[in-house]
Amino acid sequence: MKKYEIYLPLKYNDGTEIEAEKIKQIREELIAVFGALTVSSQSAPYQGSWKYGGVDFIDDIIKIEIIAAADRKTERFFKEFKERLKRLLKQIDILITAQTIRTICSALRTRQDSLAVHAPSS
């Protein structure tokens, strides 16, 4: 399994706020594809700093976490999703990371239950 983290900006590169409806659509799409997600609070966003072309940027961001299958289909989904997000949100780039993880299962769950992870639907 992998945990994918999307560092989603709350403002366009020009500093104007991204519409709440767009953030909602992004969350709804990810839930439709993977069945679940965890998201940080928009009222207390993370702050990221980066430099591009000699210009300093400071972004307010939320972090969306998704636990999914560690397969090519999921990896391909996130690569394509990243490009769509860049266009939709008019961003130079959007950070998406992936880490291999394992979950801690309770004694009551079977091994088969613990292997039931979410993968993008066809």
pTM: 0.81
Q: What angle is formed at CA 92 by the lines to CA 90 and CA 93, rounded to 5 degrees? A: 105
Q: Is residue 119 part of a domain?
A: no
Contact 61, 47 (CB under 8 A): yes
For residue 15, give its domain range: 2-114
Q: What's the structural domain count of the chain? A: 1
Question: Distances in Å between the alpha carbon of 103 and those of 64, 72, 84, 109?
Answer: 18, 20, 30, 12
| CATH code for position 27 | 3.30.70.120
Q: Is residue 101 part of a domain?
A: yes
pLDDT tens digit sequence for 29-81: 999 999 999 998 877 788 888 888 888 888 899 999 999 999 999 999 999 99
